[in-house]
Structures are given as structure tokens and as C-alpha cells.
A and B are shown apart, each in its own frame.
Chain A
Amino acid sequence: MSPELEQGLYVFVLATFVGLEVIRRVSPLLHTPLMSLTNAISAIAVVGSILVAGEQRTSLSTVLGTIAVACSMVNIVGGYLITYRMLRMFRKSGKEKP
């Protein structure tokens, strides 16, 4: 096993456990915002997309990269915005919506 793969697998396994523990505690009340937030976070694919689009090594890779950057950006902008919008709607009794 190469050291890169080994480190990568350690990171993956540990991050999965952190994820399982953290997300198990999320109240079912917030499951929809949870999904839109993780959706925005998985748009981290933008990192790879920017590199492929910006390196401009072949025209194919530039085109594919550019589309990928646009797709990721849709989820970054849309995902965070709608999560915030949803969370603003949750209020306790006795308090009017801001």
C-alpha cells in the first residue's frame, strides 16, 4: 500500500465515524435542512473541478472541468441559500418570525 493511499484510507474511515456520530445527533425536525447542507458540502467537488478547468491541458478537460465547476457552483450557492432560508422558518411558540 502506498503511503498516500494509506493516509487517505485513515482519513476516510475516521471522517466517516465522525460523520456518523455527529449526524446521529441531528434532530429529525431538521432532516431536510441537513440534506440540503450536506448537499452543499459535497459540492466540494468544486476543488477538483477548478483544477481541471484552470489547468487547461486539453480542450476536452477544460470543457468538462468548466461544466463541473458550474454544476458545483449551483449546489454551493443553492444549497447554502436554501438551508439558511429553511432554518429562518423554524421558530418557537410565542415568537413571531423575524
Chain B
Amino acid sequence: MIERAIPFLYLAAAGSFVLALKWLSAVSTARRGVIVGIAGMALAVGGTLLRPEIVSYRWIGAAFVAGTVIGVPMALMPMTAVPQRTALSHAFGALAAALVGTAEFYLRAPRIDRVTMGALVLEVLLGFLTFTASLMAFGKLQEILPTRPITWRFQNIVNLSLLGLAAGSGVYLVVRPDSVWLFPAFVSLSLLFGVLLIVPIGGADMPTVISLLNSYAGLSAAAMGFVLDNKLLIVAGALDGSSGFILSVIMCRAMNRSFTNVLFGAFGKVRDEDRPAGELRPVRSATAEEAAGILQAAGLVIVVPGYGMAVAQAQHKVRELYDVLTKAGVEVKFAIHPVAGRMPGHMNVLLAEANIPYDRLMEMEEVNSEFPQADVALVLGANDVTNPAARHDRTSPIFGMPILEVDKARTVMVVKRSMNPGFAGIENELYYLDRTLMVFGDAKAVVGSIVRELSGGGGR
């Protein structure tokens, strides 16, 4: 009798997931969103465990324990590692969907109707390609694999024909579900395509790619919903799919590029050729002491953090700087470019971790009108997103990309290790402006010494 309750539990779970995402829209309600999300998942798992088809709980119990043992440490990783962690969890999610699809195929083939087989093929294709692609993204973010884009001749042709081959064998399986021999080949092609898809992707494109993989993992779960005729899976998968889609569109817009360009454009390649020029041009450099003096005299300072801040783990030092300046009566704001860092919102969580109030973190559109009033724009490990060439230089590869208009501040201070161009390998003309001061050194060390200067001249 209790089975009759299951559809209602599933319905409540689907509703909870929508509410969870709705409440996530603002910080004040976001935690409530997580709680209702947990409740939804508990209803879904609980309802499934009640189903009469289940004959034994032994393996399920063991898997619950194993999953929890791996899941908890993954939730306790430091915030700087969040992009890698996210990539890894996309891999886990996609693998689960792909394995269920594989199991269903071998259970049902060859007595499987075309519609179900179509959904199953999509589930398996998306699942396995997202699995290897996410592992590759993890490797690049963790810097186990080279982070520069790797390209070779005919790469796009090879990749596209591989995808074509995978899709072709998928279609063949739909038409002839009895061709069980083809299934392993189909799986291998999907896995291989996932690997090759990420090889040419560079670090700065990771925010888009991670969002896209998020979307694929969701769509794979939705396809599973069609295979199992389960509406809860379809709803949850569609929500996840649309979320990843929106995020990747936002990321693409923030770089003024298209999906195709991110996936097949091999961004880094164009750049290597026009590199050497200009490195001998003069720049004005300053010491931490001079920088401290200028900051102290300012009324409004806008800090522009980038991936360099994350790499140097400088966020806690930045918080100290924020405290000292605020105490001295200087107003400090943070300008966050949508693609700063390695995943959407990366800078926000890092600064929040360092205890910087979130009402100080400003989006690009809001903050750009404030730069002309700012006395100092302090650029910490951000590069391409501040390059004025994006506004006027038609030959620049980043022309048209929306940027943070730091060059409109009275003084621009750039903390940077050396004059080496960033990921993209493009010269940043910001560095050669008269109003720009370069402070060379590691972001954490430089900010640390500025803080020391400000809080009572010289060492402590």
C-alpha cells in the first residue's frame, strides 16, 4: 500500500528542487534554498527505497557509505580548489547517469522500443563524454595536465568526425537495437570524444566549459528520466540543464565569444604569433611603500581581483588591506568581472571566504560607472578583463569583450609578477598608460607589505 505514496513523494521532491533554485536567487534566502533542496533529495531517495522492485539493500547500503566517505572530504576542500572540485563532481554525476544507461541497455536489449533507445543513446553519449571531459577539465585546473590549449592540424576535423561517428553509431543502435556488439564501440567513441573536446581548451575558457559540462550532466539525467519514464528525473535534469546553459551563455557574453568559438576556436593559438612586440616599452613601477602612500591618501579604492589572486592565495591579505583602509576612512569596493577566475562566481566565494562583506562586491555593469570617481583602481592578478584594447583596437583578439574600465580611475595600480602577458598572451596596453603604476611581485607578498606599511610604517 505504501507504494501508492511514491508518486506524491516524487512530486514533492520536484517542487522542492524548483523552490531551492528560486530561493538561491538572493543571499538572504539562499540557505533556506539548500535546506529545501536537501529535503527534496531525501524524499526522492526515500521514495525510491520504498519501491517494490528492490529485492536487496545490501549493495545500495554499501554504496551509500562509500559515496559519503568520498563526498564529505570533497565538500571540505579549500575555496581556491572549488573549480577543480566542481569539475570532479560533474564527472561523478555524469558517470552515474552513463552507467545506469549502460546497465539498462544490457538488461533490455534487444527488446527495446525506438523512443526508449533514443533517450538511452542520448543519456549514454552525454554521460560518458561529460565524464571524460570533466576529468580532463579537472586535470587542467589541478595543473596535472598542461593548462595551455593544445592544438594540432586538422584537430577540429578529427574531433567533429569522431562526434559524427559516435552519433552515427547511436542512430544505428536506435534503428537496430539488437546490434549489441556495437554498444561498446559507441561507449568508447563517447569517452574519446570527451577527452579530445577539452584538449584545446585553455584555462581562461574554463568558466564556459565547466558551465557547459554542468548542463550536459543535467541533460543526461533528464534523458534517463525518459528511459525510466520518471518525471522527477526529467524535471531535475531539465533544471540542471537550463542552469548550466544560462551560465555558459553569460560566460560567453562576458568574453564576447560564441559557443563554437570557445569549443573549436583554439583561442591561445592566435595569440602566440603576435607576441614579442612592445615588451621593451617603458612602464612606471612603484614599490609597496609608494603604493601604500597613494592608497592612504585616496577616497575611493576599487580592487579588481583576478585568477592571479586565487593562485597566490592572497584573499586573506586582501581582507587585511580592506580592514586597514576602511579604518583609515578610505572607501573600498571590489569589481568582479563575470569571467574572473576559473568558474562562474569564483572571485565572490574567495572574497566571502576571507570575510569581505558581499555588499562590497560589485558586478561589472554597476561598477564601471564608478571608476571615473575612483582615486585608485588596484588590479590584483587580473589581466585581459582590464585591457582597454577591447574597446578600440579592432585587431585585438579580445576586441568587443566587455571590460572593467579601470583606466578611467585617477591612478591605476597593477600588482603583477612580471611583464609576461597573461593566459591569452596579449599585451595589455593598460600597463603603459601614464597613470599606471606597476608594483612587481607576488600578489600575497605585495599586499602583505602594503598592509604593513599602512598599519604603522615598517615591519611589525
Chain A positions near chain B (C-beta within 8 angstroms): 2, 4-5, 7-8, 11-12, 15-16, 18-20, 22-58, 60-62, 64-95, 97
Contact = CB atoms under 8 A, between A and B. Distances in A.
Given A29-B361, A69-B60, A87-B30, 19 more contacts: A12-B225, A18-B239, A35-B86, A36-B86, A39-B86, A41-B20, A42-B236, A45-B97, A45-B221, A48-B97, A51-B228, A55-B54, A56-B59, A64-B103, A65-B99, A65-B103, A70-B64, A71-B67, A76-B41
A97 B355 CA distance: 7
A1 B17 CA distance: 29
B37 A74 contact: no
Contacts of B64: 69-70, 73
A61 B103 contact: yes
B259 interface: no
B444 to A, nearest CB: 20
B101 to A, nearest CB: 8
Contact of B233 (A29, A48, A54): A48
A74 B92 contact: yes
B79 A86 contact: yes
Nearest to A13: B238
Contacts of B242: 16, 19-20, 23
B53 interface: yes
Nearest to A28: B363
A8 to B, nearest CB: 5
Interface of B: 17-18, 20-22, 24-27, 30-31, 33-34, 37-38, 40-41, 44-45, 48-49, 51, 53-57, 59-60, 62-64, 66-68, 70-72, 74-77, 79, 82, 85-86, 89-90, 92-93, 95-97, 99-100, 102-104, 106-107, 115, 210-211, 214, 217-218, 220-222, 224-247, 250, 336, 338, 343-346, 348-349, 352-353, 355, 357-361, 363
A24 B24 contact: no
Contacts, number: 367
A39 B93 contact: yes
A93 B239 contact: no
Contact of A78 (B20, B63, B75, B237): B75
A47 B232 CA distance: 9
B103 A88 contact: no
A70 B100 CA distance: 12
A38 to B, nearest CB: 4
Most buried by A among B57, B59, B71, B241: B71
A2 B45 CA distance: 28
Contact of A72 (B74, B93, B106, B107): B93
A30 B233 CA distance: 25
